Structure 1
């Protein structure tokens, strides 16, 4: 599966020889694009290795100027800030660079990256750089277990990390989850395993990564503008399977992912291991009578399955989505030789992050759930499927997505829909067409300042309380980005939590 916007590989003997920390990086001319967490880490690491580094960022802010001053102190040759700096590929000490290391979110069509392609300068991401530095003389070489998917990456990475730690290994969640892999490689702790979360942006810039095991959790249309189409998005997701050593783990419900595994150029002996939240076939993990079971990494898999955990071990609200995440994490761990008892203990120990199918209160038999991290229809589909009946708080910055299938699929479980956000035309239209009997309240239209997310959320929670009855679930799963009324999805989730807390306090006060 090849992408039309793929990142080309140019023959360069100097770069091809850079396969470990101890390779000859001295004097390598590198342009680092982006001064975010990964860009700063890449520049700092390259200077430590002896490379000559120029850093470029399109934002000339006080924060970036401060970062620039720090990088110059440690030895970065030059830092260029401002939009114009991103238009052309700069020279490094008067010469054409040998390499560009880019931050993952920058589009391949950006002037500086497009010019690098035109000049046949190789482009790596920070993950590719980290893989090249993974081996270091005198230190343990961490094994990589790599995770991607449209949704559920962070949860699965956290579960994998917890399982590995329960087995007694030094393991850390890295990558898109927040800790740059380069920082983990420079940590005094010598890790046995990295649980690596990879976005489609990061995967686009990878060439040589060879994980011990890898998984694509699920795929749905997302970031298609960046990738210039869904086919390219899928092709970049598929890169995670290339060169995998032991196990390509896949969601057996999705033909697109099965095709990725079938097309992958893997190492000899690598196995294809499926998972789903149902009875597993041979070489799969699945669910039988409330148990997570393994028919892939057990000797007698032809005739029996090995229990690795209980569904109840996967979280306070063990939804189909969280069970699938747990199965994927268990498959990665089992591929790495982890015993079942550590899988179960790791799942029990795991503390899920906030804002993903997070129960926040129970009032008069009504469950209040925060799923602010559901920023697209695919993520919201997983949470809507978990509850019935639902008073749904939805809406935000839609990014042009189509809500028709989501609304049509779940219209029977919807008791009411409370619409927040300022970009709601698509959602309102889908509700009118596919759920005409469901009451819909446009909360934003009733608030004086539509940009005041806190007021909007308080009104939504108050209305939900007014409509709710025992055994209902009030689910805040917006299926949209948050930046129209909130700083981030976390800010939106916290606004919901705070509004529900105020409601609970008022209910208790009225009862007193």
Structure 2
């Protein structure tokens, strides 16, 4: 559907969550005849449905199973889906049989972009994906662009809704866009100005069906790039995606890594962040973009995030001074390798956002010696590689949650001399975390780090990873006062 006439166009929106409601309201405002469908029936869904219905949007709820099985509403000409709906959903099979396109909210936003008065072209998108580090990198990028005097926002899976951003009354000069594999799957027309894939590790394989399909969806972010495809020198899979991409003539592959940068790369030299990609005569010259000390916090994986953000900003034309100023101004969100206290010489770090093994490995690489708090819902992950890589850094481990056994077994195989204590069995919430922190404190010595990097989801014991991190910080404060 190229440039559809929205007036009275019958559109089905899949999902009654935040992105689905946003899409429904935007489409209704454009004059489309919108029907929202959702497989749930809960009280919250019914309340959201009533709000939309009061605005003239039709809503159909399912049988409470979470999967909508009622088929396409009659007359549907386009389906716009929320990111979480998997490709195997019966609704999409029905759309395919009827020859009806399925767009995600990102695809809809891309199609609705409006030209800027200053250039006559829509605001360029600088896009970021990866298994881990997306939000931090996009927020760093937005901080750099702001320091350069551009009106910008971190959008997509973070900050402002991408639909709200492209339709903002006061237009943005450039957007820093975080994109998940789900969103990329449903965004066939997306063509960013420059894009980065930070890393690739197995995740969401139940949704994608295979690692190959997951990687292919991540790689969509490089399609049609204009200036630069930014990849991780330490992760060959990201470079492979660049090689497979169909890009605009003149677009370059730009690598980032923690070592001294080669030609067309960004890296680190004597504690300085250095650009050898976006400088004149890059065979002989380099630009200093700041120092490792400008990155908050200066953990290795966060320095890599900063280099990726810097590469995208430089691709857009930002000068080195603004890169340094933006990185200095950036403040990470809560629950991302955040120091929450020092008690009896032991530093307590909240990285509750480390909900998979890839993220936990990055945290574990940043400290030593460590008392590691791990466990929760493993989502089918294995822990052998993680434990093997971190074994020499571990003082001890405190295991929690439903799938603690798989972590315990990996520790027994690869770190048999590390003391392991299982805590808070059968407990949840604040009571559980108080016991966990006190148990970790009993293993730690002055100079150690107690690291909450569970490598697992949190919902077996806590509402979400945010509550898990908040309760960890509260328990540390309680320990300090005891």
TM-score range, shorter chain: over 0.9
Give the match's secondary structure for 2:190: coil
Conservation of the 8 A alpha-carbon contact between 1:422 and 1:444: no
2:316 corresponds in structure 1 to: 336
User: How far apart in 1 are the matches of 2:246 and 2:64?
Assistant: 39
Among 447, 465, 470, the alignment partner of 2:446 is 470
1:503 corresponds in structure 2 to: 479
**1:352 has 2:352 as partner:** no
Q: Report the Cα offset of residue 239 of structure 1.
A: 0.5
2:436 corresponds in structure 1 to: 460
**1:220 has 2:196 as partner:** no
User: How far apart in 1 are the matches of 2:304 and 2:320?
Assistant: 17
2:103 corresponds in structure 1 to: 124
Q: Deviations over 1:372-397 (max 9, x none)?
A: 00001100000001111101011101
User: How far apart in 1 are the matches of 2:333 and 2:53?
Assistant: 36
2:407 corresponds in structure 1 to: 427
Among 451, 461, 478, the alignment partner of 1:485 is 461
User: How far apart in 2 are the matches of 1:54 and 1:486?
Assistant: 34
Q: Deviations over 1:414-439 (max 9, x none)?
A: 11000011221211111111111110
The change in CA–CA distance for 1:78 and 1:498 in structure 2 (over 3 A counts) is closer
Q: Report the Cα offset of residue 244 of structure 1.
A: 1.1
**1:437 has 2:437 as partner:** no
**1:303 has 2:284 as partner:** yes
Q: Which moved more, 1:112-121 or 1:279-288?
A: 112-121
- Which residues of 2 match residues 145-156 of structure 1 at below 5 A? 145-156=126-137
Conservation of the 8 A alpha-carbon contact between 2:72 and 2:94: no
2:79 corresponds in structure 1 to: 100
**1:246 has 2:227 as partner:** yes
Please, which runs of 5 or more residues in structure 2 have no aligned partner?
none
User: How far apart in 2 are the matches of 1:433 and 1:421?
Assistant: 20
- Which residues of 2 match residues 160-199 of structure 1 at below 5 A? 160-199=141-180
Give the match's secondary structure for 1:121: coil
Q: Report the Cα offset of residue 313 of structure 1.
A: 0.6
The change in CA–CA distance for 1:119 and 1:83 in structure 2 (over 3 A counts) is farther
Please, which runs of 5 or more residues in structure 1 have no aligned partner?
1-14, 19-23, 507-512
Q: Which moved more, 1:58-67 or 1:473-482?
A: 58-67
- Which residues of 2 match residues 369-384 of structure 1 at below 5 A? 369-384=349-364
Q: Deviations over 1:445-500 (max 9, x none)?
A: 3xxxx142322211121122222212111101000000000000001001100000
2:254 corresponds in structure 1 to: 273
Give the match's secondary structure for 1:146: strand
User: How far apart in 1 are the matches of 2:23 and 2:142?
Assistant: 24
User: How far apart in 1 are the matches of 2:159 and 2:90?
Assistant: 27
User: How far apart in 2 are the matches of 1:88 and 1:243?
Assistant: 37
User: How far apart in 1 are the matches of 2:358 and 2:116?
Assistant: 44
**1:133 has 2:112 as partner:** yes
Conservation of the 8 A alpha-carbon contact between 2:313 and 2:323: yes
Q: Report the Cα offset of residue 136 of structure 1.
A: 4.9
Conservation of the 8 A alpha-carbon contact between 1:391 and 1:464: yes
Q: Report the Cα offset of residue 82 of structure 1.
A: 4.0
Q: Deviations over 1:309-354 (max 9, x none)?
A: 1101111x30110000000000000000001111100001111001
Conservation of the 8 A alpha-carbon contact between 1:88 and 1:115: no
TM-score calculated relative to the size of structure 1: 0.91
**1:395 has 2:375 as partner:** yes
The change in CA–CA distance for 1:53 and 1:468 in structure 2 (over 3 A counts) is same
Give the match's secondary structure for 2:246: coil
TM-score calculated relative to the size of structure 2: 0.97
**1:89 has 2:75 as partner:** no
2:366 corresponds in structure 1 to: 386
Over aligned residue pairs, what C-alpha RMSD do you find? Answer: 1.5
User: How far apart in 2 are the matches of 1:127 and 1:326?
Assistant: 25
Q: Report the Cα offset of residue 121 of structure 1.
A: 1.2
User: How far apart in 1 are the matches of 2:370 and 2:116?
Assistant: 56
Q: Report the Cα offset of residue 57 of structure 1.
A: 1.1
User: How far apart in 1 are the matches of 2:63 and 2:162?
Assistant: 27
Give the match's secondary structure for 1:38: helix
Q: Report the Cα offset of residue 402 of structure 1.
A: 0.5
Q: Deviations over 1:94-153 (max 9, x none)?
A: 42x111100001111111122212222111100000000012586973211100000000
Conservation of the 8 A alpha-carbon contact between 1:357 and 1:371: yes
Q: Deviations over 1:222-242 (max 9, x none)?
A: 111111011111011001001
Q: Deviations over 1:231-288 (max 9, x none)?
A: 1110110010011111100001111111100010111111111000110000000000
